[in-house]
A and B are shown apart, each in its own frame.
Chain A
Amino acid sequence: MKKINTMVVFLVIFSFFLVAQTYGTEKSLLFHAGLGQRMALNEIKEVFEKRYPDTKVNFSYKGSGYFIADITRSEQGDLFMPGEEFYLLQAVERGFLTDYNPKTDVPAYFVTVIITPKGNPKNIKAIEDFAKPGIRVGLGNPKSCAIGIWHEKTFKKAGIWEKVKANATLSAKCIPELGNATQHKAIDGTIVWATTAVLYLRDVDIIPIEYRYRGIIRLPVGVLKFARYREEAQKLMDFILSEEGRGIFQKHAYAVNPGIPIGKEGFCLDGTTDKFMEYLVNAAKAVKDESFPVTKETVGDLAEEVLRQRKTERAGD
C-alpha cells in the first residue's frame, strides 16, 4: 500500500512539474503543411531556425484534406502549404488567404513518373503499356487524393482510360499507398509524383513519362489572414521562395524551375524536365548498385537522398 501511495504522489508531482514548464519568449509559428512535404520542410525549418534563433517553426502535419476543416474551425495558423494548389485555392475562396499571387508564390512542383516493382517484371516502358491486358495497375481514388485526378487526366489524354480502369486492382486513398503497394509487388506499376518515387529508390524502378503526358503540379505556399506573427511568417515564406529554399526542395526530387513551359491542362510542353528525369532514373540505379557513381553529373541534387538510402536495407533515415 505504501508503495502505491508513494508512486501516486511521485507521479502527481512529476506531472505538475511538466505542466509547469512555461513558454519562453520565442515566437513560434504554426505551419499547416501537407504530410508529403515533411522531409523537405523539416530541412527548411532547421536552416531557418538557425538563421532566426528567436523564431520557432511548428508544423502541424496532416493529410491535405484535413486542413480546410481545421482552419475554418480554429482560425489559427501562420502559414499554409498543402499538397496541391486546389486546397490552397479553397482557402483563398473562403477568405483565409488574402494576398495569394499564383505567379510568384509557388516554390516547387511535383512531376509525375511511372514506378514499377524492382526489375520491372511486366516491362512497362510508357503509359500505353498500362492498357495491356493482365497488367495490375494501381490507381488513386480521385475523391480522396490528387494523384487520382492526375491518373484520370493522363490516361484520358492518352485515350486509354477505360482499358486502364479495367486493369486497376487497387484504388488508393493516399499516394503512399501506391508507393507501398509497388514496393511490396502488389501492383505491376502506377504513376506517382517524383517526390514519392524518390522515397522508394531501393525497391522500385523509375520510368520517366514522355513529356506530352508528364504532369507538373503546382505547390503554393501562403501566409494566412489570421497569422499571429505576420512578419516572421512572411520571412519564412520568403526563405522558402528563395533560391536556397528551392534548392532544398530540389534535393527531395521536386522540380523548382519556374520556367517549365506548361500547357493549360498542366502537362509539359517540351523536354525541359528531361534532365531531371534522367537524374531520378540514375538515382534509383545508384541506390541499388553501390558501384554506380554518385556525382552532380549522374544524379544532380539527389546525391544526398541516394547516400541516405544506401545506408540501410529498408528505407529510413
Chain B
Amino acid sequence: MNMALGSRGGWWPALCVGTAVTIVAVYLLLVASNWIYLGWHDTLYFFSKSRMWERFWLTVWTSTVSTSFSLLIGIPSGYALSRFRFPCHHLVASVIDLPIVVSPAVVGAFLFGVTTRFPFDWISEYYGVYIGRNVYGVLLVQFTVTAAFCARLMKASFDMIPTRFESVSRSLGASPMRTFFKVVLPMAKNGIIASMIVVWARAAAEWEGLMLFVGATEGKTDIMPFAIYLDWNGGMMGWVTSMSIVCILMAVSAITAMRMIGGRSNVW
C-alpha cells in the first residue's frame, strides 16, 4: 500500500513510520555511543586479541550444535502439535510452553538438581567426570532452553500451511512420512529457517542458566554473554564494550545471511 504521507489522514502512517525510525535510531545510538567510548585504538587492540575470537567461535559452535539438536526435536514435535489430536494434547502443549515462560535461571537450577542425583552421581563417580561443568553443560542448558521454544515456533510455521495439500498428497497414495518430507517440509522451509535464527540467537544469548548450572571456566564454558558478565565483574570495560559490539555484529550478520538464504516468511 502506497499512501502519500501528506494526503488526508496521512498523519497515522507518518506516526507509525516515525515510531519505527525513532526506535531504530535509539538502538543505533546505543551501539554508536559504546563504540565511541571504546575508541578506535582500543577497537583494533581488542579485536586483534585471540581471546576475543576464541570466545566468538565457542559461542558460534555451541549455539549451532544446540540449535541443530533443538531442530531435530522441534520439527517433529511442532508438527505433532500442529496436526494431530492425541490424548492430553492440551497438557503437552502447555508443558512445552513452560521453558519459554519461566526464567532460564530456573532451568539451570533444575538441571543442576537433576544431574547431581541418581543415577547421574554414579556415572559422574564412575567415569571421574563432573557432569555439566564443561562445555557439554553449556550445550545441555542451551538445548533445554531452546528445544521447547523451537517446537513452539515450528508449530506456528506448520499452522500457517493449509492441510489441503496434505489431504491431496495422502489421497494420491503417499504415506504420511512421504507427505511430510515431500509436501509439508518444503512448504514450511521459510518458517523453519526463520525459526532457526530465533532459536540460534536465543541459544547464543543464554547465560542465566549457565551461571547456575555450569559456572565459568575461562576459554571453555564462557560464551560471549557469560564472558561479558565476567569481565563486567572484573572491571574490564574495554572487554565488555568490545565483546558487546562483536555480539551485535554477529547477530546482524546472522540475521542478514539467513534472510538472504530463506527469503520472507511469517516470522520475519
CA distance A27 to B67 in the complex (A): 31
The answer to whether B235 touches A18, judged by C-beta atoms less than 8 angstroms apart, is: no
- B51 contact set on A, CB distance < 8 A: 317
Shortest Cβ distance from B234 into chain A, in angstroms? 6
- B61 contact set on A, CB distance < 8 A: 18
The answer to whether A200 touches B235, judged by C-beta atoms less than 8 angstroms apart, is: yes
Give the size of the chain B interface in residues (CB under 8 angstroms): 54
In-complex Cβ contact of A73 among B37, B71, B112, B193 (8 A): B112
The answer to whether A12 touches B134, judged by C-beta atoms less than 8 angstroms apart, is: no
Give the size of the chain A interface in residues (CB under 8 angstroms): 45
The answer to whether B42 touches A313, judged by C-beta atoms less than 8 angstroms apart, is: yes
The answer to whether B46 touches A316, judged by C-beta atoms less than 8 angstroms apart, is: yes
Taking CB as reference atom, which chain B residue is nearest A58?
Answer: B217
Contacts known (A30-B133, A36-B233, A317-B51); A8 close to B68, Cβ less than 8 A: yes
CA distance A1 to B189 in the complex (A): 7
The answer to whether A39 touches B116, judged by C-beta atoms less than 8 angstroms apart, is: no
- B39 contact set on A, CB distance < 8 A: 313-314
- B97 contact set on A, CB distance < 8 A: none
B interface: dominant SS: helix
CA distance A39 to B230 in the complex (A): 11
Residue among A19, A32, A183 with the most chain B CB within 10 A? A19
Interface flag for B113 (CB, 8 Å): yes
The answer to whether B235 touches A59, judged by C-beta atoms less than 8 angstroms apart, is: no
Taking CB as reference atom, which chain A residue is nearest B239?
Answer: A316
CA distance A60 to B102 in the complex (A): 25
Shortest Cβ distance from A274 into chain B, in angstroms? 25
Interface flag for B215 (CB, 8 Å): yes
The answer to whether B192 touches A4, judged by C-beta atoms less than 8 angstroms apart, is: yes
In-complex Cβ contact of A312 among B42, B124, B216 (8 A): B42
Residues of B within 8 A of A (CB): 37-39, 41-42, 45-46, 49, 51, 61, 64-65, 67-69, 71-72, 112-113, 116, 124, 127-130, 133-134, 136, 139, 185-186, 189, 192-193, 211-212, 214-218, 220, 230-239, 241-242
Residues of A within 8 A of B (CB): 1, 4, 8, 11-12, 14-15, 18-19, 23, 27, 30, 32, 35-36, 38-39, 42, 58-62, 66, 70, 73-76, 174, 176, 179-180, 183, 196, 199-200, 228, 311-317
Knowing that A59-B215, A313-B39, A316-B42 touch, tell me 5 more A-B residue pairs with CB under 8 angstroms: A8-B71, A23-B127, A27-B128, A62-B216, A317-B236
